[in-house]
Amino acid sequence: MRIAGRVALVTGASSGIGWAAALRLADAGARLVLHGRDRRRLSALAGRTGGFPVAGDLADPQEASRLAAEAERLAGGVDILVNNAGVGWAGPFSAMAPPDIERLVTVNLVAPMRLTRALLPAMCARRDGCVMFVTSIAGRTGVAGEAVYSATKAGLDSFAESLRLEARGSGVGIGVLVPGVVQTEFFRRRGRPYERRSPRPLPVDRVADLLVGAIATGSAERYAPGWLRLPVAVRGAAPGLYRWLAARFG
């Protein structure tokens, strides 16, 4: 779809993939509504892009509906929705406190559903728009020590796929970006740094380029990096082999 002149709402825009994607969308000529928890960084990004900053926490059950209303008030509606905001938690599931479970499910899965529900009908009525979801390779393969995070991303993947089937012929594109390891603050915030030698984290700007490219071309899905399709294919074709390899190599 044409990005120039369109209104794009980006969640999780105060850092990481959301920040980089907002800059790319601004370069492509989009008008921006920027949502995130860090009010200072959000204001700085708004200053660079001319976007509207809306600070808030999607862990609040009412935040998605408030954000949709604010986007309508500030920008007159949304043409492109980038459901990027997400939180992580690393460690054995038995050590995870119930409030942490609820936070991950709310932010990573329920909030994107609510926000999409609030904005999608207007896109369908105009027969034009795009909804992008930032999922994770963890949601397609599973990751030890990230059981709840993986489950929320798998749920988001399934939701996007089902929504794509529903939206067929509506003029609204539904896409997913499936990133692996990216150079962001995610790992520090989840409570466990990334310590593996490979795969090496991707530069966040490269991931943002893939996301914006998927919007522009109407792609159903993009992997970042592309070789991540291989473990997903092995898991689908030979699940026993995949589990053996995952147990041995991680």
Residues known to be catalytic: 149
DSSP assignment letter at 168:
T
For 76, 104, 180, the CA distances from 7, given in Å and listed in that order, are 8, 28, 28
Strands (E), the chain: 7-10, 31-36, 52-55, 80-83, 129-134, 172-179, 221-224
> How is residue 89 written in tokens?
């938690």
Element (H, E) at 150: helix 147-166
Cα 19 from chain centroid (whole Å): 12
**Distance, CA of 102 to CA of 2 (rounded, Å):** 37
**Distance, CA of 147 to CA of 209 (rounded, Å):** 29
